[in-house]
Amino acid sequence: MSEATVFEKVEQLQSEIRRLATAEQGLDEARRIAKRVAKLKTSLGDLHTKVELARKVNKTIGSTRVDVSAAGRGYQEFAATVQTVTNPGDGVFARATREISAVSKRLGEETYSAWSTWASARISKLPLGRIPMLSHADQLDARRRRTELEGLSRAKELSKADVSLFNTSIDGLADLLADVADVPAEMADLLYRLSSDRPPTLAQITDSEIALLRSRHLDEQITLKRINK
């Protein structure tokens, strides 16, 4: 092999090494950007969920209590930056992720506040004092629904499915109570005690309470059982 041929082979080898080194740097850069993009997509996914929930709550409430107009802030600035920069630095991704997360947090807090206020008000309008006047099976259903509704009204990890469930459950409870007569608070409290898992003894019921039951012809629904001690 001539000297010129050896020199050419060495040049070719060095050229190949440089190409491989450049490709490796490109791969590292691609990996870096892919990692940052994945994190950004996660933040955007959370933002999308928050926006959809806010819209669902606004629609359910019947007013625009939660402002979603600023939802694109942060991402819009990032989009404008990447149009002029081939490989955005980590700071660009970090700033976009931080701003998007801040918007998501604000939306979540405003949505929870609007939802909790509205849902609690809806529950308070139900004639819950009528529950003790229902049959035993309906009482169990009504109390289950009430507990479910109160839990959903305070749920900070709220979802669109939760909002739909609340609407279905509160309509069902309202239907249960619609045809039941109103009763005085004293009567409702007495019937609640009598329907509990540990009802009061006869000694714990006053003569006036017994008279109250008889005045509503509810004494026919009350039974007495002696407890052996």
User: Are the beta carbons of 100 and 47 closer than 8 angstroms?
Assistant: yes
CA angle at 152 for the pair 148 and 158, rounded to the nearest 5°: 145
Distance, in Å, from the CA atom of 27 to the CA atom of 22, rounded to the nearest integer, reads: 9
Per-residue pLDDT of the chain (229 residues; tens, 9 = 90+): 444 444 444 444 445 455 555 566 667 777 777 787 788 788 888 888 999 999 999 999 998 888 888 787 767 777 777 666 666 777 877 888 888 888 889 999 999 999 999 999 999 999 988 887 888 788 889 999 999 999 999 998 999 999 999 999 999 999 999 988 777 778 878 878 887 778 888 888 888 888 888 877 777 778 877 777 6
Regarding pTM above 0.75, the answer is no
* Distance separating alpha carbons of residues 189 and 203, to the nearest angstrom: 17
Q: CA–CA distance from 135 to each of 14, 172, 175, 217 (Å)? A: 90, 16, 14, 15
- The phi and psi torsions of 34 (rounded to 5 degrees) equal -60, -40
